[in-house]
Structure 1
Amino acid sequence: MGLPALSKKDAYEVGFAQAANDTPWRVAQTASMRDEAARVGCRLVCTDARGSAARQVSDVNAMVVRGVDLIFLSPVEGEAIVPAVTAAKAAGVPVVLLDRRLDPSLAAAGEDYLTFMGSDFVEQGRRLAEWLVRNANGKTKIIEIEGAEGAAPAVGRKQGFDEAVTAAGGFKILASRSGDCVRDKGRQVAETLLGTHPDANVVYAHHEEMAHGAVAALDAAGRTPGKDVIVLSVGGGTEILQAVADGRVNAVVECNPRFGPLAFETLHRYANGERIGPWVKQADGFFDMSNVAAGISRAY
């Protein structure tokens, strides 16, 4: 059974099954989907699973019963949502995953659902490493604070960064440990690793919350973040970009939450009969002192 078709219409009723509206990033993502739906004249049926996989399964099933034309889905938990994705396909409703993939052994893009739309996490790590290589000025001893163990963002951000600094030569990753994308745990991990490796002069945090924690740890250790120690991170919220503007964080690669334009562009491309590949990449910005002032004005 092939993927469900999407007929050309003047307007569509579209579902958006959000995992949770519990962070500024998620709130910005939902707002972007709502804004773009309104701009292009689509009706958006938006739900909030509040972090519950069971609730999200119910949300998606209700959208299928309602007969929406297409469902955008940000999964709470991969395995639990697969039966709902399969049911949507059987009912003739295309599904597009946003920002979180499913295990391809359980459900595959282009077969069980239309496509995955999201950032290139490997590229995010690589871009930060390339900035470091250009701007290190002798700072080469790195502490890495990883995201949630085994999660795709953490795996990709580590792979891209580690490969690039290794290829550049002259850099050394002294230690790497998970901070679970939590500010206080990021602080604790940074304190521990800085205590063990007082010669570290670069901190790479996979998530902006952990970067804030690392900055606090550097302050407590009597070291000046952004000067004595280069601080790199992934994010794009107002607080982290202000830290860049203040010189306390050196560079941030964006993880762009504004999926609305790309999502509805993809919907219309599919309705027009275009082939949609298994991965539609979200474009992410990059901020350092040279351009952060403009970035703050549109930060989430």
Structure 2
Amino acid sequence: MKFRKSAALLAAAFTVAGLTACGSDSDAPSGDSASSSTGIKGAVIGFAQVGSESGWRSANTDSIKAAAAKYGVDLKFTSAEGDQTKQIASIKTFITQGVDVIAFSPVVETGYDAVLQEAKAAGIPVILTDRAVDADPSLYKTFIGSDFIKEGEKAATWAKTEFANDAAVNMVVLEGTTGSAPANDRKTGWDNVLGKETKFKTLASQTGEFTRDGGKKVMEGFLAKYPNINLVYAHNDDMGLGAIEAIEAAGKVPGKDIKIVTIDAVKAGMEALAAGKINYIVECSPLLGDQLFDAASSVLAGKDIPARIITEEGEFNQAQAKAALPDRKY
């Protein structure tokens, strides 16, 4: 029998057992989801990944695949490699296949209304992971991921403190993929803190597409045009790591001559932080697999779930990075 057709029976079983559900209009932190996996075994779940642009994304994919195996889920996995058209085609294929749940990490924020309407018409619930969309919230069950605005605010707060005694700060920004939620929100968060701080002068801001190679190439251009850069704000670690290569090739010392603040806290970034080449990292955890299948289990059981499930994350200076690295999972 099709797994989705048994959802009502599962819901009844949960009700009889007296289990309670979270309200759909509240936020919820991450936690141990193993206890909520009852009933999801054998479900067919389609996951349309944004791509493989960074170490963070690779860790995110590994987390989803490992959790699918742990929960006994039949995972249909595709990667758009940064192409929204390709990702939408994958989602349409999942709809045609009649999967039980569709999950995806959007390439950009806009342009998904039509395909989300198709999923809703087919009776297939949708879960967003890592990145949100600008669409009617009734078209998806929940968004699981980080508060990107808060991440930008944390990075800017560090910069404000770090340069508190400087009269002027010349900075450049390595932006994420244009139009994507993390790029948009990490800029907003930064501006929330430093937008009115006139001493922070943005010399240039350009996308590096969240890749190390992109960060290196953009930083090379910045260095050629602006000889007095004091600070780099990179929307992810990979672009920051690329910037380090460009800075060193230019004969400067990353972390000293030019300070760097990034977001993600993947292992390679943490190693650069421990070595003093990056000055500060705000964490954005890619380990969303358990949360995804926990949410899918609840949805298939007919339970209400929070409209937004926020992951709990930290911040790291050099000493904290050294302490965390031995047990780092990604």
Question: TM-score, normalised to structure 2's length?
Answer: 0.75
**Aligned residue for 2:316?**
287
Q: Which moved more, 1:45-54 or 1:222-231?
A: 45-54
| Runs of 5+ consecutive residues of structure 1 not aligned to the other structure | none
**1:227 aligns to 2:256 (yes or no):** yes
How far does residue 126 in structure 1 lie from its aligned partner after superposition? 0.8
Does the alignment pair 1:116 with 2:147? Answer: no
The structure-2 alpha-carbon separation of the partners of 1:6 and 1:230, relative to structure 1 and needing over 3 Å to count, comes to: farther
Q: Which residue of 2 aligns with 1:172?
A: 200
Q: Is the 8 A contact 1:72 1:97 kept in 2?
A: yes
1:130-156 Cα offsets, whole Å, 9 max, x none, are 223333463551413131344332222
**Deviation of the 1:233 alpha carbon:** 0.9
2:48 corresponds in structure 1 to: 17
Q: Percent identity?
A: 32
Structure 1 residues 138 and 194, CA gap change in structure 2 (3 angstroms): farther
Query: Hey, what does 1:275 align to over in structure 2?
Result: 304
Q: Partners in 2 of 1:193 and 1:5 — Cα distance?
A: 57
Q: Is residue 202 from structure 1 mapped to residue 231 from structure 2 by the alignment?
A: yes
Q: Which moved more, 1:239-248 or 1:145-154?
A: 145-154
| Counterpart-to-counterpart distance in 1, 2:109 and 2:153 | 26
Equivalent of residue 248 in structure 1, options 277, 280, 285 = 277
Q: Of the candidates 162, 165, 169, which is equivalent to residue 138 of structure 1?
A: 165
Superposition pairs for residues 1-300 of structure 1, below 5 Å?
6-7=7-8, 8=10, 10-12=39-41, 13=43, 14-21=45-52, 23-76=54-107, 81-104=112-135, 108-109=136-137, 111-136=138-163, 138-139=165-166, 141-147=169-175, 148-166=177-195, 171-181=199-209, 182-194=211-223, 197-271=226-300, 274-293=303-322, 294-295=324-325, 297-300=327-330
- Paired with 2:268 and 2:218, the residues of 1 have a C-alpha distance of 21
Give me the whole-angstrom Cα distance separating, in 1, the residues matched to 2:259 and 2:92: 48
1:272 and 1:203 map into 2 onto residues whose CA distance is: 47
Q: In the superposition, relative to structure 1, how do residues 174 and 186 fare at CA in structure 2: closer, same or farther (>3 Å)? A: same
Distance 1:206 1:50, change over 3 A: closer
Measure, in 2, the Cα distance between the counterparts of 1:52 and 1:193. 27
C-alpha spacing 1:22/1:289, structure 2 compared with 1 (3 Å): closer
Specify the SS of the correspondent of 2:139. Answer: coil
The amino acid across from 2:114 in the alignment is P
Q: Which runs of 5+ in 2 are unaligned?
A: 11-37
Deviation at 1:38, TM superposition (A): 2.6
| Partner Cα separation in structure 2 for residue 142 and residue 258 of structure 1 | 35
Per the alignment, do residues 26 and 198 of structure 1 end up closer, same or farther by CA in structure 2, a change over 3 Å counting? Answer: closer
- 8 Å contact from structure 1 (residues 236, 299) kept in 2: no
CA displacement, residues 164-216 of structure 1 (integer Å, 9 cap, x when unaligned): 1356x584124231132344553454345456554432221222233123223
One-letter amino acid of the structure 1 residue matched with residue 215 of structure 2: G
Q: What code does the residue aligned with 1:102 have?
A: V
Aligned to 2:29: none
Q: Which residue of 1 aligns with 2:27?
A: none
Instruction: Mark the CA change 1:197 to 1:296 in structure 2 (over 3 Å): closer, same or farther.
Output: farther
Structure 1, 16-25 or 114-123: larger mean CA deviation? 16-25
Which sits farther off after the overlay, 260-269 or 122-131? 260-269
SS of aligned partner of 1:291: helix
Distance, in Å, in 2 between the alignment partners of 1:37 and 1:194 is 44
* Distance (whole Å) between structure 1 residues aligned to residue 200 and residue 79 of structure 2: 43
How many angstroms apart in 2 are the aligned matches of 1:68 and 1:138?
57
Whether the aligned pair in 1 keeps the contact of 2:108 and 2:179 (CA below 8 Å) is no
With the length of structure 1 as denominator, give the TM-score of the two structures.
0.81
Shift of residue 70, structure 1, vs aligned partner: 1.4
